[in-house]
Structure 1
Amino acid sequence: MSRFASTLPIASRAIPNYTTSEAGNPFVDGWYADPDTEIYNGLYWVFPTSSYSYDKQLYLDAFSSPDLVHWTKYPNILTTADISWAVKAVWAPAPISRNGKYYLYFGANDIREDGNMEGGIGVAVSDKPEGPYVDAIGSPLIGEYHNGAQPIDQDVFIDDDGQAYIYYGGHSRANVAKLNEDMISIGTFDDGTQFKEITPENYVEGSQMIKRHGIYYFMWSEGTWTGPDYSVSYAMSDSPTGPFNRLAKILQQDSAVAKGSGHHGVIHIPDTDIWYIVYHRRPLSETDGDHRVLAYDRMYFNDDGTIAPVKMLVKDNFADGQMYSWKTYDGQWTVEDERLTVAETAEAKAMLDTDFADLVFEATASIDYGLGDAGLVFRATNLSTSCDEFQGYYAAITSSDRVVLEKINGGKRTTLGEVDNMIELKTEHLIRVTATGYDIKVFVDDLTYSKISVTERSYSHGATGVGARNTAAKFGHVSVQRP
């Protein structure tokens, strides 16, 4: 277990009241997709698909956290070696607990309607959330198509009256079925049927059910999982079996942050109205469809109970001691004492895979020693392994008590503005850059009055990051968002 893990009841710990993953998205390392969530033994749990080609999706990992910041990985909690009938495409684990047992529902083998291969939705069981899990029944729980729904992408929900339901479906059809008390067999509805179709408009896959204030929210993914249209929509009903009429899309790609956002789970902080949507997305520069990462953002409800569109925020306070989302160019970068730290070198950058045009970008920066500068890089393009190749802007504090804004074009730097500021070495300063159209402003510490204000037309959009020249520097509390 991680040294950060805790078995204290969640109610006795600080409430994780965040706007997003404040320690950065992705919040864990590795290629993962299709996350679902649970709260077990005072810990928040995330169970994802391992995101590789189908023939390599032979195992499931899990992650737990006491605070949604520090995560412990449990590898191989379930593998195809544990499931006699599963040979590939182990997808979308759905966790739930009942009667002292922990159940994990999963899809396997990507079966087709022609019935040429055994597969579908299985169920595994364990005495512990982290497993190991074993096949509960030795065959698929749902092993064939009903109402045209491919048996994949399941979610399991236990209602307040104790009745358990399984929601699932691919190939643009969705079903709901009852689960019996044993959680390993399908029940029957009052009309004698076992599978009810509940397909809403635009449904593709990725079923998810939550309940809030007596209202059932059925959620799903739309679009193509490898495409830019992958997204999450929802419906509301006063019944767990619908009808579910599509209301709106609430999560979709953001051209400045990430693409292909969808197939999600939801974390509800007990005894609060704090909700998070946990989902997968693809980094902007990533071209491999299987390369997806896990992220979460805050999910807010409107006064009428509808769900507000989710905003993908970019933050990193380095509280987890990691720098998963950063790519470095020159220099020796580490995370120390919740700060992104670079050793003194001629020039170094650490960049986020973003593409902001208009932005509000801020971070703390301090210069430990050296005769150079440290600051924020924005609207940067042509990034390569060398710091001399890129184009963009650089707003920095200097060891000579100055604030400077530069335009960088390959190896050429042009000073756009410079002003005295009485910078104290080894003291953390808050730098903020606002860029709206051609207007760029730089603030240091005082966020009311800008130190530098220019009109500059060279670069309209690009990546954001931090950099240093001829100094050892530290950065923290990074935040990038649209104005």
Structure 2
Amino acid sequence: MKLKSLGVLLALLAFGAKGNNPLNLGEGLRTADPSGHVWNDGRMYLYTSHDLECQEDFWMKDWYAFSSSDLVNWTNHGPVLSVDDVSWADNYAWAPDAAYKNGKYYLVFPAGTGHKDRESPSKSTKWMGIGIAESESPTGPFKDVIGKPLWTAPYANDPSLFIDDDGTAYLYVHAQGYDYHVVEMADDMLRVKGPLQKMDMGGYEPKMEGPWVFKRNGVYYFTMPENNRILTYYTSLSPTGPWTYQGQIMEQEANSNNHHSIVGYKGQWILFYHRWLDINSDCGRQRHVAAEYLHFNKDGTIVPVKRSEKGVGHRLNNR
């Protein structure tokens, strides 16, 4: 009996020590650029880009959605939209975001055409724009309802949608010559109201991509991969600034890019991000979505986060 009890105990300890990073989103599935949202059903939803195995220069073709009630066990609902469904683009299905308004779900997505010539940039034909797709369900399928990008110039990607408490929707983008810009969405979410507006970043504007905005205790947080590598953030009392630089959230890993989202769930704040890992691949390191708990100091500043193998889910499951 004692040996049997010891065996059970060791098995439980081994199970408890098992990590949740990267997230188990599907065997052999490579995902990146996670956008986390909690909708009215109380589940956590993740909208991601999808890396093809050994893909060429980020030639990506569709977007995925996943959901979970415990951050450990995930249901795969994707793909929820493909460039095959987009008349104005055929490639570059990059980082998406999502929003809920007017009783519908919206997927804002970048996509494009052409090719990037890295050796002779002047010969590049690559172009990217921002589209908006709509669905009656958080898991899609989503439809490109306007059949064109929200604008054609400037070249843009990495959209982030933030809907404030009054229902106003703001779109933040990474764009050619237009970093740190925002534009208000029309109430129907199918067009923008006016041109992109440059925000006051307090005099500090490093190269960036993948902005993410959220609100906590009346304070707005503008977060981003600074120099495309290190997650850093600003704060403001307005969703359009002026912003005050606050410093680092997560350091870079092996000179790799990062892309993230931050969302509250069941009394915890969660940082979703991606890691470059060699997991059963013939192509070396590829991107995989991961997650960590995120904490705030009493003054509202963010406690720097370290990557872990344990990840998230254990605290939710032990509540």
TM-score normalised per structure 1: 0.53
TM-fit CA distance, 1:245 = 3.1
TM-fit CA distance, 1:23 = 4.5
| Cα pair distance change 1:289/1:201, threshold 3 Å | farther
Report the equivalent of 2:133.
124
| 1:86 has 2:80 as partner | no
TM-fit CA distance, 1:59 = 0.8
| 1:63 has 2:62 as partner | no
TM-fit CA distance, 1:116 = 5.9
Which amino acid in structure 1 is aligned with residue 235 of structure 2? M
Aligned equivalent of 1:282, options 272, 276, 283: 276
- The answer to whether the Cα contact below 8 Å between 1:169 and 1:206 also exists between their aligned partners in 2 is yes
Q: Which has the higher contact order (CA 8 A, sep 6+)?
A: 2
Which amino acid in structure 2 is aligned with residue 35 of structure 1? P
TM-fit CA distance, 1:119 = 3.8
Report the equivalent of 2:317.
none
SS of equivalent residue, structure 1 residue 246: strand
Which amino acid in structure 2 is aligned with residue 267 of structure 1? V
Which amino acid in structure 1 is aligned with residue 186 of structure 2? N
Larger radius of gyration: 1
Q: Unpaired runs of 5+ in structure 1?
A: 1-20, 189-193, 225-229, 320-483
SS of equivalent residue, structure 2 residue 84: helix
| Cα pair distance change 1:60/1:97, threshold 3 Å | same
Structure 2 CA distance, aligned partners of 1:98 and 1:22? Answer: 38
Report the equivalent of 2:291.
296
Number of residue pairs the alignment of both structures matches: 280
Structure 1 CA distance, aligned partners of 2:19 and 2:144? Answer: 36
- The answer to whether the Cα contact below 8 Å between 1:85 and 1:118 also exists between their aligned partners in 2 is no
TM-fit CA distance, 1:312 = 1.5
| Cα pair distance change 1:288/1:203, threshold 3 Å | farther
Q: CA RMSD in A?
A: 2.9
SS of equivalent residue, structure 2 residue 77: strand
- The answer to whether the Cα contact below 8 Å between 1:232 and 1:252 also exists between their aligned partners in 2 is yes
Report the equivalent of 1:181.
187
After TM superposition, the structure 1 = structure 2 runs for residues 20-59 of structure 1, keeping only pairs within 5 Å, are 23-27=19-23, 28-29=25-26, 30-40=29-39, 41-51=41-51, 52-54=55-57, 56-59=59-62
| 1:210 has 2:214 as partner | yes
Structure 2 CA distance, aligned partners of 1:278 and 1:317? Answer: 10
Which amino acid in structure 2 is aligned with residue 121 of structure 1? I
SS of equivalent residue, structure 1 residue 81: helix
- The answer to whether the Cα contact below 8 Å between 1:177 and 1:186 also exists between their aligned partners in 2 is yes
| 1:265 has 2:261 as partner | yes
- The answer to whether the Cα contact below 8 Å between 2:290 and 2:311 also exists between their aligned partners in 1 is no
Report the equivalent of 1:337.
none
Structure 2 CA distance, aligned partners of 1:43 and 1:219? Answer: 23
| 1:154 has 2:159 as partner | yes
TM-fit CA distance, 1:214 = 0.5
Structure 2 CA distance, aligned partners of 1:318 and 1:97? Answer: 25
Structure 2 CA distance, aligned partners of 1:242 and 1:67? Answer: 34
- The answer to whether the Cα contact below 8 Å between 1:118 and 1:143 also exists between their aligned partners in 2 is no
Higher strand share: 1
Structure 2 CA distance, aligned partners of 1:138 and 1:317? Answer: 38
| 1:223 has 2:218 as partner | no
TM-score normalised per structure 2: 0.79
Which amino acid in structure 2 is aligned with residue 43 of structure 1? R
SS of equivalent residue, structure 1 residue 91: coil
Structure 1 CA distance, aligned partners of 2:153 and 2:136? Answer: 29
Q: Unpaired runs of 5+ in structure 2?
A: 1-16, 315-319
TM-fit CA distance, 1:24 = 1.4
Structure 2 CA distance, aligned partners of 1:54 and 1:80? Answer: 16
Structure 2 CA distance, aligned partners of 1:101 and 1:42? Answer: 16
After TM superposition, the structure 1 = structure 2 runs for residues 405-444 of structure 1, keeping only pairs within 5 Å, are none
Aligned equivalent of 1:73, options 69, 76, 95: 76
Identity %: 34
Which amino acid in structure 2 is aligned with residue 65 of structure 1? S
Structure 1 CA distance, aligned partners of 2:132 and 2:312? Answer: 38
- The answer to whether the Cα contact below 8 Å between 2:20 and 2:310 also exists between their aligned partners in 1 is yes
| Cα pair distance change 1:318/1:165, threshold 3 Å | closer
TM-fit CA distance, 1:313 = 2.1
| 1:309 has 2:304 as partner | yes
Report the equivalent of 2:152.
143
Aligned equivalent of 2:168, options 151, 163, 172: 163
TM-fit CA distance, 1:110 = 6.7
| Cα pair distance change 1:143/1:316, threshold 3 Å | closer
Which amino acid in structure 2 is aligned with residue 187 of structure 1? K
Report the equivalent of 2:196.
195
| Cα pair distance change 1:309/1:316, threshold 3 Å | closer
